Structures are given as structure tokens and as C-alpha cells.
Amino acid sequence: MKNPRVGIEDILKARERLQGEVHNTPLIRSRTFSQMSGVEVYLKLENLQRGGSFKIRGAYNKISSLDKRTRQRGVVAASAGNHAQGVALAANKFGIPATVVMPVHAPLSKQSAVIGYGAKMVLEGVTFEDAYKKASEIARERGATLIETFNDETLIAGQGTIGLEIAEALPGVETAIVPIGGGGLISGIGIALKALNPKVRVIGVQSEHVQSARQSFLQGRIIETKPEKTIADGIAIRKPGSITFPIIREVVDDIFTVSDDEIAFSILLLMERKKIIVEGAGAVPLAALLSKKIRKPGRKAALVLTGGNIDVNLLERIIEKGLMKTGRILRLRTEVPDTPGALGKLADLLGGIRANILEISHDRMSVRTDIGHTGISVTLETHGDGHNQEIIKDLKRVGYKISVAV
């Protein structure tokens, strides 16, 4: 490797520092996703890492590399979530003060986790950039060390230990598919894997709403983009780092993007088929593979599921949207006579055709409803598109007017 700033020796030293402090997370084969993709799929479960994501690796490696006097002045970090938890957890292990600055809209679950690890939390601004600016000010005022989110050699080396674990657990790996935002994770993994086997392909995946890494990769220079809202908020970074980008150009073979719908579908699949909970950023490798966007994925692919710190309310919306997209939730509108027993008759009919009523409401006042009738809106749990067509056909056959709500 040409870039002298981070090498395999740095990653091997990082592994020594992390020994006993982080988990060597499982790398499991998925028969389901292998059959769906035509590739031997292995999942690197960093969602089971301490703190719920890979971030503890880089944060611990960085803090452990500081001398004792520097540590005593404390550390400061800016983050929308996972990096905050990684820094807070690592600082707690060393018994040193930590301050974490997060945007005001950071999920409450992640705020609670940071406080639970013993860090002081400061809420500032609405974007990561706002939080980073405040964190930099606090670090300067206190003489504390600012722990960068991704643009730091020692962080990169810490994240690179994942690459060592993949290579050791799966010697025949041909492709590693890795989420990419600022580039710290994929840089470290790419350095490790390419040093051990230069033929391994390293593929980055980013949300199509935030394509800073992909556009920079394609144009050969750092491109700053304006992030749009995405459920993959952990990789919604405006631009790659000055340190990470040259490494990305050297060790990354290609970068692809996926839509929020594809990410949400992958989150749902991981829950249903493998009982694995991941956040949006953690699901992008599977989304890219199943959407057939990756050219020549090889015979054996390792997908890095980077974290599992997903907000429960967001997860609920993802599940509902995913079920609707796959046809397993059906919303209908109809009318029944405004007479006793009419609603019960409809419910009995739906039960007879194996449709589970999740929610039902009626509205006598709607201008769309004929006089003497009541408008009915019903949400059903079904077995899929074929079952949905059967339900609609049976209802129409006995005289109900049906419209499908989306």
C-alpha cells in the first residue's frame, strides 16, 4: 500500500490494545440471503459490539494511545449517536471525563446511552456540523482532546481490526461490503483486507440521499454535498475526510448507493429472517446486494452490519412501511348500511377469508358516504398480494364498494 499514514502494522497494534476490551463479533453465514442473492453471504455482526456499534474500536484505540497526562484533561466528541456512545464507553473504561456534543434532535435512546456511560452531554444545533463546531470550542477551552469521528489515523486503525477478523474467520472472502460515510471504517477494513489479500474487493455503500463519498470517488476529489434526510443517518456525512479520502481511492474498488425504501426493506428482512436488529446505516450492505447494484460480488461476500442503535419509533414505522410494501398490510375503504349488525357482518366476512383486522373506524359524516350508510376504513394483516386480491374480489362479490388506500 502506497499511503504511509496508516498501515497493517498500525491495525495489528490496535488489535493488541483492544484485546479483551471489545468483542470479536460473530461472522455468520446466511442461507436465506445467499439464496436470494446467488452469493455466499456472511454477516459481520457489529450490531452486537459493545455500545451497539463498531465505534468503540476506534474510540478505545485513540484514547488508549494518549499519554496519561493528556487523558486526565478529558476528551470531547461530536456525534449524532454511535460515535458518542463509543467515546463515552471508552472514556468510562479509562476513568476520564468525557463530553459529547449531539444535535438537539438526536434520538432520546442514544442520549440516554451516552449519559448512562458516564459522559456529560451537550445538545447543540440541528446538524452534525453544528455539534462538531461546539465540540471543537469546548476542547480548545478545556485543553481536552477532540476525538474525531472518522478523520484520524488511530481511529482508522481501530476500525481496521474488523478487517482482520473477517480475514481470519473467512479466509476465502472475495468481497467486503461496507457502509461508507466519512470513510474511517471502510479505510481501516480496506487496508487490512488488501494487505492480507490484494485481490479482495472492497465495496462501499451509501444512501442515495447523501452521496458525498460516491461523488468524491467518481470525480477523484473531495466533493461536499448537502445531506438530505435519510434513515441511514449514521452515514449522512457532507464529505469524506482529508485523511480518509486518499485511502478510499487506494483500497476501495467501488461505491454504490441505495434508496431509503431498499434500506427499510433490508432492516425488515434482517429482523424477520435472522432475528437481527440493525439501524439504517447497518442495513445498506444487504440493501445493495439484494437490489443487484453490485457488479461482480464474487462467490463469498462479507457484509458489515455496523450498528443496531435504531430508535424504537423509527423501527415501528419501518416495519409498517415494509409490510405495506410487501403487500402484507392492506388498507381498504368501503361502506356499510347504518344499521345494527352491519359492521359485525363485515368483520365476520373478513375473518372468514383469513384477514386479521388491525384497525377499524367508521365515519357517518363524510361527504363521500351515501345517506343511510357509514364509511368504514379498515387496516388488515394479510398473507401478501395474492391474498389481497382474493379479499377484494370476495368483498366486491357480495356487494361492497371497495377502494384501496395507500
Provide DSSP, 310-327.
--HHHHHHHHHHHHHHTT
315 and 336 in a single domain? The answer is no
- Indicate whether 171 belongs to any domain: yes
CA-based nearest residue to 144, from 129, 159, 134? 134
- Indicate whether 30 belongs to any domain: yes
- Indicate whether 2 belongs to any domain: no
- Indicate whether 115 belongs to any domain: yes
- Indicate whether 29 belongs to any domain: yes
Element (H, E) at 393: helix 385-397
83 and 45 in a single domain? The answer is no
pLDDT at residue 367, as a whole number: 57
Q: Using pLDDT thresholds of 50, 70 and 90, give the confidence band for residue 108.
A: confident
301 and 383 in a single domain? The answer is no
Dihedral sign computed on CA atoms, order 140, 86, 187, 192: positive
119 and 167 in a single domain? The answer is no
Distance between CA atoms of residues 166 and 186, nearest Å: 13
Distance between CA atoms of residues 353 and 31, nearest Å: 33
Q: Are strands 373-381 and 329-337 parallel, antiparallel or unpaired?
A: antiparallel
291 and 262 in a single domain? The answer is yes
Distance between CA atoms of residues 275 and 45, nearest Å: 12
Average pLDDT for 61-74: 94
- Indicate whether 142 belongs to any domain: yes
Element (H, E) at 216: helix 212-219
- Domain of 13, CATH number, reads 3.40.50.1100
Cell of 47: 450490531
Q: What torsion do the CA atoms of 97, 93, 308, 23 make, to the nearest 10 degrees?
A: 160
135 and 12 in a single domain? The answer is no
Indicate whether this model's pTM tops 0.85. Answer: yes
194 and 315 in a single domain? The answer is yes
Distance between CA atoms of residues 379 and 75, nearest Å: 50
CA-based nearest residue to 17, from 56, 60, 51? 60
Give tens-digit pLDDT for 243-285: 999 999 999 999 999 999 999 999 999 999 999 999 999 999 9
Mark which of 146, 169, 197 sits at the end of a domain: 146
Which residue in this structure is represented by grid cell 365476520?
A: 348
Q: Order across the sheet with 254-258: list the strands.
A: 27-30, 40-45, 300-305, 175-179, 201-207, 254-258
- Indicate whether 3 belongs to any domain: no
Give tens-digit pLDDT for 189-207: 999 999 999 999 999 999 9
Give tens-digit pLDDT for 294-328: 988 889 999 999 999 988 888 888 888 778 877 88
Strands (E), 243-348: 254-258, 300-305, 329-337
- Domain of 368, CATH number, reads 3.30.70.260
pLDDT at residue 378, as a whole number: 93
> What is the extent of the structural domain holding 38?
8-54+153-321
* Amino acid occupying residue 118: G
Mark which of 107, 130, 146 sits at the end of a domain: 146
179 and 294 in a single domain? The answer is yes
pLDDT at residue 1, as a whole number: 47
Average pLDDT for 134-147: 96
49 and 65 in a single domain? The answer is no
- Indicate whether 1 belongs to any domain: no
Average pLDDT for 9-14: 98
Residues 134 and 78 sit within 8 Å (Cβ to Cβ): yes
161 and 252 in a single domain? The answer is yes
209 and 268 in a single domain? The answer is yes
103 and 240 in a single domain? The answer is no
10 Å CB burial of residue 286 (0-12, 13-18, 19+) is buried
Average pLDDT for 349-357: 92
Cell of 160: 481496521
Q: What is the SS3 assignment for 293?
A: coil
Structural domain count of the chain:
3
Distance between CA atoms of residues 212 and 227, nearest Å: 8
**Secondary structure letter of residue 238 according to DSSP:** S
Residue 127 vs residue 199, higher pLDDT: 199
Percent of the chain with pLDDT over 90: 75
Mark which of 116, 146, 176 sits at the end of a domain: 146
